[in-house]
Amino acid sequence: MTSFGMIVDDQQKHIIVRISGEIDLHSCPKLNTTLSTFITGEHLVIILDLSQTTYIDSTGLGVIAHSAKKLQEFTGEIRVTGAVPQVRKVLELSGLTRKNVILFESEEASLDH
């Protein structure tokens, strides 16, 4: 099991969540709690920086999908930045990118969107 870390940067219009390690069954409760805290309608964009994320399983995809669905109620979206190729592939194959989850190469690109 790889260690899991999360740093939250609360901006006025968006939240940046920088995640390191693995998003899996063990780390998802913490991630879900954190994301749920910010889905209030006040922040319409949550940016997930996955540049230091090495793995994501179906539980992690479920947390992101659930958060994206709740954000959609406020016309918000999740922007994923910096995902390494294997994590990016899982996100694309999951179908989340056809919802309100948008992939970006960098945090700067996601902020310019």
Which residues are CB-neighbours of 81 under 8 A, at least 6 positions away?
A: 47, 48, 49, 50, 51, 103, 104, 105, 106, 107, 109, 110
Distance (Å, rounded) from C-alpha 78 to C-alpha 35?
10
Q: What local confidence, expressed as pLDDT, does residue 83 receive?
A: 96
Domain extent at residue 53: 4-112
Distance (Å, rounded) from C-alpha 61 to C-alpha 35?
13
What is the bridge-based pairing of β-strands 4-10 and 14-23? antiparallel
Q: What local confidence, expressed as pLDDT, does residue 20 receive?
A: 97
Question: Looking at residue 28, which CATH number applies to its domain?
Answer: 3.30.750.24
pLDDT digits (tens, 9 = 90+) for 20-55: 999 999 999 999 999 999 998 787 899 999 999 999
Q: How many domains does the chain have?
A: 1
To the nearest whole number, what is the mean pLDDT of the chain?
A: 93
Identify the band that residue 100 occupies on the pLDDT scale cut at 50, 70 and 90. confident
Which whole number is the average pLDDT over 104-111? 92
